Amino acid sequence: MRRIVWALGSGQDTLGDLAAYIRSSAADLMERADLELTTEISITTPGAKLSTDQRRHLLLMTKELLLNVVKHAQAQRTTMLMAQENGSLRLVITDNGVGFDTSERIGTGTGTTSVFERVKALNGTVDLHSAIGQGTRVTIVVPLTMV
């Protein structure tokens, strides 16, 4: 609940604030799950203000993707990259887990469906690669509309 309140506007409305909060939340989640997390964040305009919808969707989709790693991947390591590039934000989450057959599982769970809906709401794209025994990589690119 605290994260949702933060995302909806506690004065933490910049891209830099969002990146720092996501990094901290991800580190806490992975530490509790005893998973190794490597993060790389490259934000060129940390003071740029984001809309409440952008912050909320980006925060919740990142949380959902990381929860999927914890719940389903059986991974030991996760990597999260967040980079501001050419007016967009690229988020890449990779794990070394068991993977899955994407032809059978895409959009079947509420978490994955939620991520796709959030990306669509932000006019972004999702690229999901996974194979049994080879882990999973999700790349999300969303245009940043500064307010």
Picking from 54, 47, 55, 51, the residue whose alpha carbon sits closest to that of residue 21 is 55
**Topology given in CATH for the domain delimited by 2-143:** Heat Shock Protein 90 (3.30.565)
CA–CA dist 121, 32 (Å, integer): 31
| pTM listed for this prediction | 0.89
pLDDT at residue 9 greater than cutoff 70: no
pLDDT in tens, 28-87: 999 999 999 999 999 999 999 988 889 999 999 999 999 999 999 999 999 999 999 989
| Domain regions of the chain by residue span | 2-143
- Tell me the average pLDDT across 94-100: 95
φ, ψ at 35 (rounded to 5°)? -115, 145
> Which pLDDT does position 12 carry in this prediction?
76
